[in-house]
C-alpha cells in the first residue's frame, strides 16, 4: 500500500458540499481495496467502511465534503534541506487529510477480536451536517474519534457552538426633515447594545473557548409608504455554558429596553451547542501515549469553530476526541496543503492508539 495513495486519491476527487457523490464512490472502493469487511454508501450519502465484527465499536467520523474552490492537486517539495513534501488540493487539510488517515490507520490495524471499527466519510459538514445527523442515529459507539485538522501531535477536546439570528428593527415612516431617528440608525444602536452585553460577559474570561464570539455578517434596510426597517445578520460562537436557546433568550432580554422602535429576533438555520470532551478517559490516554511513542509532545486544544463533534457527541455520550493531521490555519484558503510527513505520523499515531485501546 502506497503511504499516500488514499490521501492523494481522495483529495483528487473535488467534492464541495452537495457534490460529494464521486468522492464517496471513490472512497468506498478504496476501503474495499484496503481489505475492509464491508464498505457502502448509506441512506444519507455517507461513505462507510467497516472492519471487524465485534460487539465493541469505535466510530471514526470525518467529513468528505469541502468548501468550494478547486485547487490543482499536486505534490511539491520545498527546496530546503530536510524539508518534507507538501500536498496541495482542496480538502487536503479540511478535512480529507484526517478522513484518509482514519481509513489508512484502520487498514493498518486490521480486524481485532471483539471490536468493530466504523470509518465514516460524512457529507454536508460545511453546510448543515446532514451526514453526521444521520450517522448520530445509526450508531451507538463505545468510543468516537472525529476527524478535523489539529496537527499530528495535538488532540482537541472541545468545539464552540454557534447560533445565527436576523435582528430586525421596525418603526413608522417619518418625514426626512422630522429629525427622528431612522430604522437604520436604530439598528446601529441595537448592534452596540448587543456588543456591550457580549463585552461585559467576556470581561472576566481569559480563554477564547469560554467567551461569546460575536460577529456582524450583514446589514440591509428599506421602507414602504408606512414603515421603515433595518435588519442585522448576527452570529455568535457559543461557550459550553450557554446553549443556543439561552443565547436567544439573552438576546431578546437585552433588546427589550428600546421603547421608540420594535425589535424582532428571528433564529436562522441550525443552532449548534458547544461541546467539551472528558479529558480523563481511556481513549485520551491512548492518544497521549501514542503521540509520545512517536516522538511528539502531546497538547490539548479547544477550538473556536464548530465540527461534527457538536452533532454526534451529545447523542452518543461516549468518550470522544477530535484528531487529524493538518494545519487548521489553512482551512478554506487558496493555499490549502498538508505536510506529507505529518500525515504519515498521524496514521502511525492513530494505529498505535487503536491498537492500545483494543488490546
pLDDT digits (tens, 9 = 90+) for 167-214: 999 887 765 555 578 889 999 999 999 999 999 999 999 999 999 999
Q: 57 by DSSP, 3-state: which? A: strand
Q: How confident is the model over 118-146, as pLDDT tens digits? A: 999 999 999 999 999 999 999 999 999 99
DSSP 256-288: GG--SSEEEEEEEEEEE--EE--SSSHHHHHHH
Q: What is the pLDDT of residues 280-296, one digit of tens each?
A: 999 999 999 999 999 99
Q: What is the pTM of this model?
A: 0.91
Among this protein's residues, is 355 annotated catalytic? Answer: no
The overall average pLDDT reported for the chain is: 94
Domains, the chain: 5-159+275-357 (3.40.630.10), 161-272 (3.30.70.360)
Distance of CA 228 to the CA centre of its chain: 38
Contacts of 184 (CB under 8 A, 6+ apart): 221, 228, 230
pLDDT number for residue 226: 80
Options 20, 94, 104, 125, the catalytic residue: 125
Among 20, 65, 142, 148, the one annotated catalytic: 65
> What pLDDT does residue 93 have?
98
CA angle at 67 for the pair 64 and 68, rounded to the nearest 5°: 120
Which triple of cell numbers denotes residue 300? 490539548
To the query of whether residue 125 is one of the catalytic residues in this protein, the response is yes
Q: How far apart are the first and last CA of the chain?
A: 24
Distance in angstroms (rounded) separating the CA atoms of residues 347 and 356 = 14
Amino acid at each position: 500500500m502506497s503511504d499516500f495513495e488514499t490521501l492523494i486519491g481522495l483529495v483528487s476527487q473535488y467534492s464541495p458540499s452537495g457534490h460529494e457523490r464521486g468522492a464517496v464512490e471513490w472512497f468506498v472502493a478504496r476501503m474495499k481495496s484496503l481489505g475492509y469487511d464491508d464498505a457502502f454508501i448509506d441512506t444519507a450519502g455517507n461513505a462507510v467502511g467497516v472492519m471487524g465484527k465485534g460487539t465493541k465499536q469505535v466510530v471514526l467520523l470525518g467529513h468528505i465534503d469541502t468548501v468550494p474552490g478547486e485547487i490543482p492537486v499536486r505534490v511539491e517539495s520545498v527546496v530546503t534541506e530536510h524539508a518534507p513534501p507538501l500536498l496541495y488540493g482542496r480538502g487536503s487539510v479540511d478535512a480529507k487529510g484526517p478522513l484518509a488517515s482514519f481509513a489508512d490507520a484502520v487498514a493498518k490495524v486490521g480486524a481485532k477480536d471483539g471490536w468493530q471499527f466504523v470509518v465514516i466519510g460524512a457529507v454536508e459538514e460545511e453546510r448543515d451536517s446532514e451526514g453526521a445527523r444521520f450517522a448520530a442515529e445509526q450508531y451507538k459507539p463505545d468510543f468516537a474519534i472525529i476527524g478535523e485538522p489539529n496537527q499530528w501531535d495535538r488532540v482537541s477536546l472541545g468545539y464552540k457552538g454557534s447560533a445565527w439570528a436576523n435582528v430586525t428593527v421596525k418603526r413608522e415612516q417619518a418625514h426626512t426633515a422630522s429629525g427622528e431617528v431612522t430604522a437604520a440608525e436604530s439598528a446601529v444602536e441595537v448592534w452596540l447594545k448587543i456588543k456591550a452585553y457580549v463585552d461585559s460577559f467576556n470581561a472576566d474570561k481569559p480563554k477564547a473557548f469560554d467567551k461569546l464570539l460575536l460577529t456582524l455578517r450583514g446589514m440591509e434596510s428599506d421602507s414602504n409608504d408606512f414603515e421603515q426597517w433595518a435588519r442585522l445578520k448576527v452570529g455568535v460562537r457559543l461557550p459550553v455554558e450557554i446553549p443556543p436557546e439561552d443565547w436567544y433568550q439573552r438576546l431578546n432580554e437585552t433588546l427589550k429596553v428600546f421603547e421608540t422602535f420594535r425589535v424582532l429576533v428571528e433564529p436562522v438555520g441550525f443552532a449548534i451547542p458547544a461541546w467539551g470532551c472528558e479529558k480523563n478517559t481511556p481513549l485520551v490516554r491512548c492518544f497521549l501515549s501514542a503521540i509520545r511513542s512517536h516522538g511528539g509532545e502531546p497538547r490539548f486544544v479547544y477550538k473556536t469553530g464548530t465540527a461534527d463533534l457538536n452533532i454526534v457527541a451529545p447523542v452518543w455520550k461516549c468518550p470522544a476526541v477530535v484528531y487529524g493531521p493538518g494545519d487548521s490555519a489553512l482551512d478554506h484558503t487558496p493555499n490549502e496543503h498538508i505536510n506529507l510527513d505529518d500525515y504519515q505520523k498521524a496514521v502511525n499515531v492513530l494505529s498505535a492508539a487503536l491498537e492500545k485501546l483494543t488490546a
